[in-house]
Amino acid sequence: MSTEAQQIFKRIVVHNKLLAEEEVDALLEHYAEPEQAIRWMVAQRGLPAKTGKQLLSVYQKKIGAASSVQASTATEQPKVDKPRDSAFDQMVDESVSGTQSHSAKPDEPTKPAEEAETKPKPAAKPAVAKSDAEPRQIGPEAEPVFEIMRAARAAGASDVHVKVGEASVMRVCGTLQRMDLPPLDAEAGEKGLLALLDDEQREHFLEHQDLDFSFDSGDEALGRFRANLFRHYRGLDGIFRLISNVVPSFDELGMPPVVKNFTDFRQGIVLITGPKGCGKTTTLAAMVDLINHSRPDHVITIEDPIEFVQLCNDAHVNQREVGAHTKTFSNALRAAMREAPDVILVGEMRDLETTSLAITAAETGHLVFSTLHTPDAVRTIGRVLDVFPPKEQGQIRSMLAESLRGIVSQMLIPNKDGKKMELAYEILVNNHACANLIRDDRTFQLPSILQTGKKQGMCLMDESIARLAREGKITKEDALTRAANIKFMRGEMEAIPD
């Protein structure tokens, strides 16, 4: 591998915080090709096979781009054939294909005698820096819990409730269903749930008796999940949100093209809103992923906890978790203003300070994405303003009118066969008319703008729900129970034949 290619590989590995610079240098002394280096990291340092494949894909893309630019002048250095141990190659190939458990600890590769005599050994072996994207080594106590999680993921569940002494429950298409697995007894359940925690998390849980955390198993059948453990009068329970192994695209989510346009802005604030479990985090992840694959920006995400892991691609992405990497959203957001970001993702605007900093960041030249638990655009703007004292609301109203780029309110509704969820949405694109209504405190008139702004991609939630019913994707009953304007929805449903 040429010196330039080594530098590209080194930058990618260091940017993704998989190894320190000196550790990459030591590793490249042993392995001339990135495939060999990545295989060693998978086999010996517990790097997930999926992450290894993504890392190799990013490297190949970068090296291809560099080669095309310098094709007319660059001269390729001859490859140096390195002797390789066939048993080691077979072991690593099995690990990359997922046939070897990440908890295994294979022996270090044995170098041929000729290489040992001619090539000095590094003083220290390269070691992977601690990373939240790597799976922790978990004991066999957690296997009963993992069995429940695998079954839930195979069933397409979004959440799992592990309750000791009773059958576990999973949520499929918004409905709770009991799992056809034997219940965990109190001792096995407590040991299995606590086995998921590292020492610091265990200490926090024992002190507070509840804990939020995220977990990456490194196993595609098990995947990554967000979890909460809590103790109650019957014992210890765990609630798990299953996270997809791949960030879905906008087309897969069913989002209209106008939502993609919100990622093209260079400054301003975009709000994704809706009730719990409506896919806000997934939409934000899709927006960050689109930026990550389209332009060389610095993206900082502040999440509680980190759900979708974003490897650096065209963009340089730094993900921070509240509790693990920073104390609060506001602390991380204040620090981000000094960290030269282009895009900032704030998991949730929970308080006055976080909301104020997010709006200020949008005004000072950053593109900000965040979420609120509000059902529509009008109440979203009201919620933002109500956080501030009355004497400050006039100023904030003017700032929001200038910096707001759009609001996407989401709702998930079970389809007719109960096998998937359909996405309903309300979209506000902040044009001059909307900005004037926000500035003049006449947000109650915004629904009329959304009705007449269809050419700009705007849409009311009730219109989206009615469209799903007309297309036969949801039932009339579900449409009526979720409508904000019952009179409007009844008129729409009467026009649909039974």
What digits encode the pLDDT tens for the residues 139-172? 788 899 999 999 999 998 999 999 888 889 999 9
Within a domain: 495 = no
Q: What is the pLDDT of residue 409?
A: 97
Q: Which span out of 31-35, 46-50, 87-91, 229-233 was modeled with the highest average pLDDT?
A: 229-233
Q: What is the pLDDT of residue 270?
A: 98
What digits encode the pLDDT tens for the residues 276-294? 889 999 999 999 999 999 9
Mean pLDDT on 108-120? 38
* pLDDT band per the 50, 70, 90 thresholds, residue 66: low
Distance (Å, rounded) from C-alpha 64 to C-alpha 78? 17
Lowest mean pLDDT among 67-76, 309-318, 377-386: 67-76
What digits encode the pLDDT tens for the residues 340-356? 999 999 999 989 999 99
Task: Please tell me whether residues 339 and 437 are part of one structural domain.
Answer: yes
CA angle 436, 442, 445 (to 5 degrees): 95
Counting the structural domains of the chain, the total is 3
Lowest mean pLDDT among 165-174, 357-366, 477-486: 165-174
Contact criterion met (CB below 8 Å) for 225 and 215: yes
What is the domain range of residue 234? 140-243
Task: Please tell me whether residues 353 and 388 are part of one structural domain.
Answer: yes
Average pLDDT of the chain, as a whole number: 83
| CB neighbours of residue 53 within 10 Å | 13
Task: Please tell me whether residues 274 and 348 are part of one structural domain.
Answer: yes
Report the DSSP beta bridge partners of residue 159: 171, 241
Q: What is the pLDDT of residue 34?
A: 76
Q: What is the pLDDT of residue 109?
A: 41
Task: Please tell me whether residues 148 and 191 are part of one structural domain.
Answer: yes
Q: What is the pLDDT of residue 116?
A: 36
* pLDDT band per the 50, 70, 90 thresholds, residue 377: very high
Task: Please tell me whether residues 444 and 296 are part of one structural domain.
Answer: yes
Task: Please tell me whether residues 111 and 155 are part of one structural domain.
Answer: no
pLDDT exceeds 80 at position 313? yes
Q: What is the pLDDT of residue 316?
A: 95
% of the chain beyond a pLDDT of 90: 54
The Cα-based distances of 36 to 7, 43, 142, 263 in angstroms read 16, 11, 32, 37
Which residues are within 8 A (CB) of 61 and not within 5 positions of it... i.e. 6 or more apart? Answer: 313
Q: What is the pLDDT of residue 498?
A: 75
Q: What is the CATH number of the domain that holds 195?
A: 3.30.450.90
Within a domain: 422 = yes
